[in-house]
Amino acid sequence: MKERNEIEELKRKALLSSPPKIDSEFWKEARVFCTEKIKNNITVFKNRFPGPASVNNIYPLISNTDWTASFWPGMLFLAFESTTDEFFSKTGEALVMSFRERLDSRSETETHDLGFLYTLSCAAPWRLFGNSLARETALMAADLLLLRFHEKASIIQAWGNLEDPAQRGRIIIDCAMNLPLLYWASEETGKPRYRDAAALHIKTANRCIIRKNWSSFHTYFFDTETGAPVRGNTAQGYSDDSCWARGQAWGIYGNALSFRYLKDPTLLENARGLARYFLNRLPDDMVAYWDLIFVDGPEERDSSAAAIAACGLLELSAALGASDADYQYFKNAAYHITASLAKSYTTRDIPESTGLLLHGVYAKPDSKGVDECTLFGDYFYMEALVRLCQNWKPYW
Ligand code: GLY
């Protein structure tokens, strides 16, 4: 792996010592581009869901079965908050029933991604509009997610059936973003068990999944009988000992969000270490390669990792507070990353595209969604813009 030298790091620090020179009109236009595309997509998607990654920059339309389905209503709610146009919120709320049916029929629910799915599709419309079906459904999803907790190992199993030997005891760094559903469920019900499981999971995960140099494993196995950590490996990264860019971004944002609920300062230190590593491995335009083992050359970028990291850096810098030495550095970095996406990575010149952001990577080792729009990249790009432009209360 190419090591970053001191001069490169100093250059990076200098670039990030001030925000990009950009006026409020630029951010406004970036948001209008997103809300117009989303409005148009409502008529294109109708009652179907966009798949996780585009094909030639156009999303295939599928039923509500993928882990990514909720990024579509999530974007609709962000568009509503950007415009106050009820066309967006009504369309998003109408999808609650689809997520309820998915849960009732247990259709593709053997996954920790119940957190992603039900935070955006149901907890968000409860928070925003007091939708009681959405609240009830999100709480049911939290109960189902809690069943994936292995007591002995103190972890939430990521994928598949709990008895499947290939998946039993496996966690992935992405799970940090599924925990807010559990924190929310404890707040709603007054029952601590959801929050307790989430707090134990993030503690165990951080102990094993974050390496000494602040890079991260994508996935990690535990022995569920003894609780012992077994080994780390990758699923979507370049190699077992490399650092998958989106995983690192999930780790930054997920730790900062857990801090929001648990107020444990070690979570902020974890987010800080992951963030510094991420920022030190970026190319000049601040949009990460799909694996942080690459810092230059022809490999693909992952615009989704950039968008997620921008949101995480904003959450992290706010949690650290203005007196922290890294506050301005992380905040400026979030602005630079989002500005770079807005300038050079949108589908502005491809009007037929149904995506917002070009150049994402879903799963390079499986040749899935490589150099395509990704639904999660689109959602977090929009979230970053909303965070930069208004005082936004997170859905997470
Ligand atoms: N959570 C799965 C992914 O980021 O691809």
Q: What are the start-end ranges of the H helices in 214-373?
A: 245-262, 265-280, 303-320, 327-344
Overall pTM > 0.85: yes
pLDDT of 16 reads 84
**For the CA of 247, the nearest atom of ligand 1:** 4
- Across 183-217, b (16+ Cβ under 10 Å) vs e yields bbbbeeeeeeebbebbbbbbbbbbebbbeeebbbb
pLDDT of 381 reads 99
The catalytic residue among 66, 113, 291, 378 is 113
Q: Which residues lie closer than 8 Å to 223 by C-beta, 6 or more apart?
A: 153, 169, 229, 230
Q: Is 364 in the pocket of ligand 1 (CB under 6 A)?
A: no
- Name the average pLDDT for the chain: 96
The catalytic residue among 66, 85, 174, 324 is 174
Q: How far apart are CA 17 and CA 210, in angstroms?
A: 27
What is the whole-number distance in angstroms between the Cα of residue 374 and the centre of ligand 1?
Answer: 10
**Mean pLDDT confidence for 264-285:** 97
Angle among Cα 36, 88, 61 to the nearest 5 degrees reads 75
Nearest CA to ligand 1 atom 5: 362
Torsion of CA 373, 376, 382, 386, to 10 degrees: -160
Nearest CA to ligand 1 atom 2: 174
Residue 182 has pLDDT above 80, yes or no: yes
CB 57 within 8 A of CB 350: yes
Q: Which of 388, 245, 348 is nearest to 304 (CA)?
A: 245
Taking domain 6-389, whether its CATH number is 1.50.10.10 is answered by yes
pLDDT of 17 reads 86
Q: What residue segments make up the domains of the chain, in order of their start?
A: 6-389
Q: How far apart are CA 16 and CA 60, in angstroms?
A: 38
Residue 161 has pLDDT above 80, yes or no: yes
CB 391 within 8 A of CB 318: no
Q: How far apart are CA 243 and CA 278, in angstroms?
A: 9
- pLDDT class of 1 with cuts at 50, 70, 90: low
Known catalytic residue: 349? no
CB 254 within 8 A of CB 305: no
Q: Which of 72, 110, 104 is nearest to 88 (CA)?
A: 72
Cα four-point dihedral sign 87, 93, 97, 103: positive
pLDDT of 97 reads 98
Known catalytic residue: 85? no
CB 214 within 8 A of CB 274: yes
In which residue are the tokens 């609240």 written? 135
CB 167 within 8 A of CB 161: yes
Mutation to probe ligand 1, out of 112, 159, 361, 376 (largest number of atoms < 8 A from CB):
376
Residues 23-63 pLDDT 10s: 999 999 999 999 999 999 999 999 999 999 999 999 999 99
**Mean pLDDT confidence for 183-198:** 98
Cβ-count burial of 370 within 10 angstroms (0-12 exposed, 13-18 middle, 19+ buried)?
middle
